[in-house]
Structure 1
Amino acid sequence: MIKTVWGVTFYVSDLNRAKEFYEKTLGLEKKYEFPSYVGFECGGVEIGLIPKPDKKQCTNYPPDVEFLVDNVEECYRRLKAKGIKFVKELHDEPWGGKQAVFLDPDGNRLEIVQIDWEKYFTVSASGAAKTKGS
């Protein structure tokens, strides 16, 4: 059902400041950047940054853990059958993924995601992924 942890997303009050911290201070390799998302490579796990809408301290925006799956529709149905209530139903994302969001028993946000890598992304010789056309 679940293949691996694909990524962790942090909601940030200042995207440029956070981007500089992860890139320059921590030395993570930037995979791609959009106005509303920056992704970094970290040992096979993507660290994502999303600007928080109200720009305040991010105490009420916990990180998401994204689980990569082969068949998100099947995984979604299986979890629903086990009583999981989704806070964000299965949907397509403009960047090429399909995902759904649910909570663990302690309220931590978890996502299941399937990505059509060949359709939406190219990979450089160094392994960095970029959206096609960028």
Structure 2
Amino acid sequence: MTTAADAEIHLILKRDHQATTANVAHVFVDDVATLYSLCQAAGVRIIKGLADKDYGQRAFVFADRDGNRIDIGERLS
């Protein structure tokens, strides 16, 4: 299983940044349910709750502090 220490995402900070309503990053993980629980416990703003999607993923979307939407998913087998 990949741990949080195995990956990093860096987004550029821009003073006049305007967040979009589109997802700006899509990340696949090994255990999306655990990451979802950790995000909830940390008070992360969840945009779309954890759900199985018709395109073969279990996924959720959260917003970072600047409002950027990050899509987190796990392939369903």
- TM surpasses 0.5: yes
* Structure 2 runs not aligned, ≥5 long: 9-19
| 4+ residue segments displaced more than 4 Å | 1-5
Which residue in 1 is equivalent to 2:59?
A: 99
- Looking at structure 2, the residues matched to 92 and 104 of structure 1 have their Cα atoms a distance apart, in angstroms, of 22
Higher relative contact order (Cα pairs below 8 Å, separated by 6+ residues):
2
User: 3-state SS of the aligned residue for 1:78?
Assistant: helix
**Relative to total residues, which structure has the larger helix share, 1 or 2?**
1
* Structure 1 runs not aligned, ≥5 long: 6-59, 120-134
Relative to structure 1, is the Cα distance of residues 63 and 88 closer, same or farther in structure 2, using a 3 angstrom cutoff? closer
User: 3-state SS of the aligned residue for 1:73?
Assistant: helix
Relative to structure 1, is the Cα distance of residues 84 and 78 closer, same or farther in structure 2, using a 3 angstrom cutoff? same
Q: Considering only aligned residues, what root-mean-square deviation do their CA atoms show, in Å?
A: 2.4
Normalised to the residue count of structure 1, the TM-score between the two structures is: 0.42
How many residue pairs are counted as aligned between the two chains?
Answer: 64
**Relative to total residues, which structure has the larger strand share, 1 or 2?**
1
Is 1:73 equivalent to 2:36 in the alignment?
no
Indicate the percent of aligned positions where both proteins have the same amino acid: 29
Normalised to the residue count of structure 2, the TM-score between the two structures is: 0.69
- Looking at structure 2, the residues matched to 72 and 63 of structure 1 have their Cα atoms a distance apart, in angstroms, of 17
Structure with higher Rg: it is 1
